[in-house]
Amino acid sequence: MSDRLRHFLLVFDHDKGELIQNREFKSPSQALTAYSATERSYTRDQNVEVVLIGADSLATVRRTHANYFPGGGVAASVQKYLVGLGLDG
């Protein structure tokens, strides 16, 4: 299974509300090195979140961590619900 595991480094800017970096690694050591360096580079920026996720594919990461991707997360689900009720504004 480890041959199929990939590592995704995501950097999300909460002020901008957008994913500012999305890198994929097959090597765990390269992923960890990149994560550490990226985490250090954003140490003083409280609005930027750096995460390293292991998954079989980017599609899985988009499902499990939808809030980091455009159109994903709770806000998008709530908006679809409100539209369905005719309460979207």
Residue 78 confidence (pLDDT): 47
Structure tokens at 88: 């979207």
Residue 46 confidence (pLDDT): 93
Residue 73 confidence (pLDDT): 56
Threshold 0.85, pTM exceeds: no
The mean per-residue pLDDT over the stretch 33-53 comes to 96
The mean per-residue pLDDT over the stretch 7-21 comes to 93
Residue 35 confidence (pLDDT): 98
Contacts of 2 (CB under 8 A, 6+ apart): none
Residue 69 confidence (pLDDT): 86
Residue in this structure with the two tokens 């480890």, named with its chain if needed:
2
The rounded distance, in Å, linking the Cα atoms of 22 and 72 is 15
Nearest Cα neighbor of 74 from 46, 82, 36 is 82
